[in-house]
Amino acid sequence: MRVARVAYAGAIHAGEPCTLTDGRAGVRLIDGRVLGEEDVVWLPPLEAGTIIALGLNYAERARELAFGRQEEPLVFLKGPGTLIGHRGVTRRPADVKFMHYECELAVIIGRTARGVSRAEALAHVAGYTIANDYAVRDYLENWYRPNLRVKNRDGATALGPWLVDAAEVGDPGNLALRTLVNGKLTQQGNTRDMLTDVPGLIEYLSGFMTLSAGDLILTGTPEGAINVEEGDEVVCEIDGLGSLANTIVADRLFGR
Amino acid sequence: MTVTSPVAVPMDVPPYRLSGTVYGVLLNHRSALDALGNLVNDSPYRGAPRAPVLYIKPRNTLAVSGVPVHVPSDAPELEVGACLGLVLGRAAARLAEGDALEYVAGYLIVNDVSVPHSSYYRPSIRHKARDGFCPLGPRVVPRAALADPGAVTLRVFIDGVLRQSASTAGLLRPAARLLAEVSEFMTLAAGDVLALGAAFPAPRVRPGQMARIEIDGIGCLENPFVGDAA
């Protein structure tokens, strides 16, 4: 099952995917209304609890950034204000040189997990979605890396479009993912190349902190994160989860 | 929003409602930065922080006064990070320093508990994000209860003995300036808590001891520290 949260005609609705009579992809609200993808405002598919993110969780990506083998997963936390839905826009500050996307498998916790073994880990997952976890590297400082000014900017973590049931996805350890910028393939990888896989991450995290329903784990990005500019359309895809679009917009739209 | 924590934390404390998101700021007390001395200029840091370095105490860390804090078996003692916490009263984006405090609904005490760690480069969240590692309270007092958040004295007692006395006068970025600089890149929501930073050295506490943080005008936040049952 796939469920989205969308705003339409003055309210927030749950919706599921459908095909319109002309063949385009659409969304069917659970009250029966059938709408085009562009007719609704897509919200993040859940109101997230704790947002946990991974750095350097793909071997090639770690090599790209010249980091050696890590002793434990590199984890940081994000606040809820950074989330934005499918087809949203993300601001690129005018004075920066390097802002990049990060296509990531997002794991949604479904029930409380504390001290869970990797064998039991996937039973605590409600489902999955796609995340595009932007970073502005100009703001990177060498204190508590990566700091929130780099990774927790308003609207700089796109999430969606759908919350896809764990049962529908099956094994999260063999999903191809890719990013297209203005239709051109710029990043690709497969979740099988994670340094710590999804069961391993749940085991690791739940070993020292209680995970609750609605918590999110953004599992890191493979190599190929390149700079994006104002006007770029960035599409992150994961097999079986769909396609998450986002557009880079300028400071001036925000009166800056 | 329903806030889930292993220990029940009432988030509705009328007229305030906490969002459950608590932000901390690294090295915001002059004593903490000074303690690093010339190390701040060496690898890997290569200079003092240019912008506020924030981190998050997630919802599993939240606890109220009186709730025991578990000292993990791999850490002989923990640090008590006594902070004044701001409670946002409304959404705050791109604040001017001059009127930033008008967005503050009130104040509380935050105990930003940490496993001591010497590197601030890329420390594991295990040091700060364990269950129960962020007692806060004992209540939210309205903004008017503190005449000047820049002249507040925090006292930390371990087993009744005064171990730290620090003032918010020592903050590198006082409340209004920190709010302005943080809200430049991220919007704070109503009910968010921003902990202003602890002084150096943070008192250490071992299993079996009691930590009490007092701030005049707010009250005292008191939590026993116990050995890990596991």
| Beta carbons of B59 and A212 less than 8 Å apart | yes
Contacts of residue B186 in chain A, CB cutoff 8 Å? 79, 81-82, 148-149, 152-154
Coil, strand or helix: which one is B27?
coil
A113: phi then psi, degrees, rounded to nearest 5 = -130, 120
Q: What are chain A's domains?
A: 1-43 (2.30.30), 44-254 (3.90.850.10)
The answer to whether residue B9 scores a pLDDT higher than 90 is no
Which CATH number applies to B12-227: 2.30.30.140, 3.40.630.10, 3.90.420.10, 3.90.850.10? Answer: 3.90.850.10
**Closest in A47, A148, A210 to B54, CB measured:** A148
| Beta carbons of B55 and A77 less than 8 Å apart | yes
Contact A209, B129 (CB under 8 A): yes
Q: What is the pLDDT of residues A87-96, one digit of tens each?
A: 999 999 999 9
Q: What is the mean pLDDT of residues A160-171?
A: 97
Distance, in Å, from the CA atom of A147 to the CA atom of A79, rounded to the nearest integer, reads 12
Mean residue pLDDT of chain B comes to: 93
Cis peptide before B138 (omega within 30 of 0): yes
Among B46, B125, B128, B173, which would you mutate to test the A interface (most chain A Cβ atoms within 10 Å of its Cβ)?
B125
**Closest in A80, A143, A209 to B26, CB measured:** A143
Q: What is the pLDDT of residues B156-202, one digit of tens each?
A: 999 999 999 999 999 999 999 999 999 999 999 999 999 999 999 99
ipTM value for the complex: 0.94
Contacts of residue B58 in chain A, CB cutoff 8 Å? 50, 52, 77, 209
More confident residue, A45 or A59: A45
Q: What is the pLDDT of residues A195-254, one digit of tens each?
A: 999 999 999 999 999 999 999 999 999 999 999 999 999 999 999 999 999 999 999 999
| Beta carbons of A142 and B124 less than 8 Å apart | no
Residue B30 host element (H or E):
helix B30-36
**CA closest to B47 among chain A residues:** A142
Percent over 70 (pLDDT), chain A: 96
**CA closest to A91 among chain B residues:** B185
| Beta carbons of A77 and B56 less than 8 Å apart | yes
What stretches of A143-207 adopt beta strand conformation (E)? 157-165, 176-181, 184-190
Contacts of residue B47 in chain A, CB cutoff 8 Å? 141
Q: What is the mean pLDDT of residues B32-48?
A: 92
The answer to whether residue A66 scores a pLDDT higher than 90 is no
Distance, in Å, from the CA atom of A79 to the CA atom of A216, rounded to the nearest integer, reads 11
- What pLDDT is recorded for position B8? 63
